Structure 1
Amino acid sequence: MKECVIWTVNIDSRKKRSEGRKIALKYAVPNVKLEEIVKACKELGIPCKAEEKKYPKFWWEEGGRVVVPKTESKIRLMEKIVSKIKEIREREKTKKKK
């Protein structure tokens, strides 16, 4: 089965397309953490393998990547993961308020 590599940079709204962002700004989220991507994948039922690697263009920044099976287009996968991350962040925000 083919695999797909998703870097934290690929879905970070603070990055420009030329810096590695792959999805539209309206879908992207700021300050993406590797753990958030892993958690989103688990909730979506997508098997993933997290790797603590540095994105070559930003080798000095924290980040990482996940390797997931390619079941659909990479962009579609990233959009699903990002919407789940937004959902998780919203859930945690409401928990803190209580």
Structure 2
Amino acid sequence: MVENVIWPAALDANRSRSDGRRVSLDLAVENPTVDEIAKAVQQVGYDAVIERDKTYPREYEGRGRVVVKDADDATKSDLLGAVAAYMQALRE
């Protein structure tokens, strides 16, 4: 059983790669929330658990994180790309 953690910083267009963004700028969205990320993860086809009390190590304020369960068939990069693409569709 593989668990992947998705921090909002990984999808945030306001962050640089060195600050924690993991997707390209054309896939990134501004100020993603854990609720949006969890919804996108579920639409991609995986189970998502929101942990609101967690803080990304490079941030001062806690935005939480999303734990993706049973993502055995996808790499983290593929998962982040699919979630980011779906989040862009949600915001349009």
TM-score normalised by structure 1 residue count: 0.83
Structure 1 stretches of 5 or more lacking a match? 91-98
- Aligned-pair identity in percent equals 37
Q: How many residues align?
A: 89
Counterpart Cα distance in 1 of 2:58 and 2:18: 10
Greater C-alpha Rg? 1
1:17-96 pair list within 5 angstroms:
17-52=17-52, 53-58=54-59, 60-68=60-68, 69-70=70-71, 71-90=73-92
Q: Is the 8 A contact 2:27 2:88 kept in 1?
A: no
Structure 2 stretches of 5 or more lacking a match? none
Counterpart Cα distance in 2 of 1:16 and 1:35: 22
Counterpart Cα distance in 2 of 1:62 and 1:56: 9
Please state how far the C-alpha of 1:39 moved relative to its aligned partner.
Answer: 1.1
Counterpart Cα distance in 2 of 1:72 and 1:43: 15
RMSD across aligned C-alpha pairs, in angstroms?
Answer: 1.2
Counterpart Cα distance in 2 of 1:28 and 1:61: 20
